[in-house]
Copies of this chain bind each other. A is one copy, B any other.
């Protein structure tokens, strides 16, 4: 049961030879969620072996070029390789006109529908609710509308202790009720207590994506207890003033967010080209939140299954 994150690029607005702009893949079981889509995203997807056909949903944080210029090429390529199934793009309202213009000029031959789901709101909102996963959007504070995304596994069905199945001669009906977390009352009046018969096979995992944003207090509450947090940190604290002016976070800001939200692990990316050596980010963040790593392009960060 995969649950892993791979960045396709950790550059900020100015890409370099070795740093592509923001685009990332969250793999949940066999589903691939694409998060932001900077220029070159399609090449990076190929480079790291992600199938375009497994992408059904794209999540756009905001419509600055370094987060969306790859959408033109990606959609065109999806068309050329024969996509026919709908594609769902979750993005702020500002994306609407951009998409219309893309479809008008380049979408003539598309054999699939591109559905723009407008992300909005001053509070977290549930935007996907499937059997095993839910996705929430939450507002960030950047120049223009900007949203983060929280992907959260649902509580799994409980397992019934095998030895108790035989010992108590459980029926299929009783097992099903127990798996759903309910007690069972037999005709005899005997009560099979759920807490005694079952256990959680694993704790639900979660991933939060915080792109360009100024730090703000409520952010950590939106993502409380997240297993893995990716937080963009364009500057280190030496350029804290510039970060504030441009509504970005420093490495310390990201680490404070990770700490306050009780995150399991922090990944940082989206570095300004001013920095050649990224250890300044890592050292700064680790002073506040030790389990922090650079979201190096192509490196898969697996969120392990943890038993309760």
Contact = CB atoms under 8 A, between A and B. Distances in A.
24 contacts: A13-B77, A13-B80, A15-B42, A15-B43, A15-B73, A16-B43, A17-B47, A20-B43, A39-B40, A39-B43, A39-B70, A39-B72, A39-B73, A65-B72, A65-B73, A65-B76, A66-B73, A69-B76, A72-B72, A97-B105, A98-B101, A98-B105, A101-B101, A101-B105
Contacts of A17: 43, 46-47
Contacts of A244: none
Nearest to A70: B39
Contacts of A81: 14
B14 A63 contact: no
Interface in A9-55: 13-17, 20-21, 39-40, 42-43, 46-47
A263 to B, nearest CB: 31
* Oligomeric state, in copies: 2
A105 B72 contact: no
B43 A42 contact: no
A46 B40 CA distance: 14
Contacts of A98: 101, 105
Interface band, chain A? 20 to 34
A65 B75 CA distance: 10
Interface of A: 13-17, 20-21, 39-40, 42-43, 46-47, 63, 65-66, 69-70, 72-73, 76-77, 80-81, 97-98, 101, 104-106
Contacts of A101: 98, 101, 105
Main DSSP-derived SS at the A contact region:
helix
Contacts of A97: 104-105
Contact of A80 (B14, B20, B47, B105): B14
A287 to B, nearest CB: 31
Residue of A43, A46, A101 with most partner-chain B CB within 10 A: A43
A97 B80 CA distance: 23
Nearest to A47: B17
The 9 closest A-B pairs by CB, nearest first: A101-B101, A39-B73, A65-B76, A17-B47, A69-B72, A69-B73, A40-B40, A17-B46, A98-B105
Contacts of A46: 15-17
A42 B43 CA distance: 14
Contacts of A80: 13-14
A104 B20 CA distance: 24
A165 B105 CA distance: 63
Given A39-B39, A72-B72, 4 more contacts: A14-B77, A17-B46, A39-B43, A40-B40
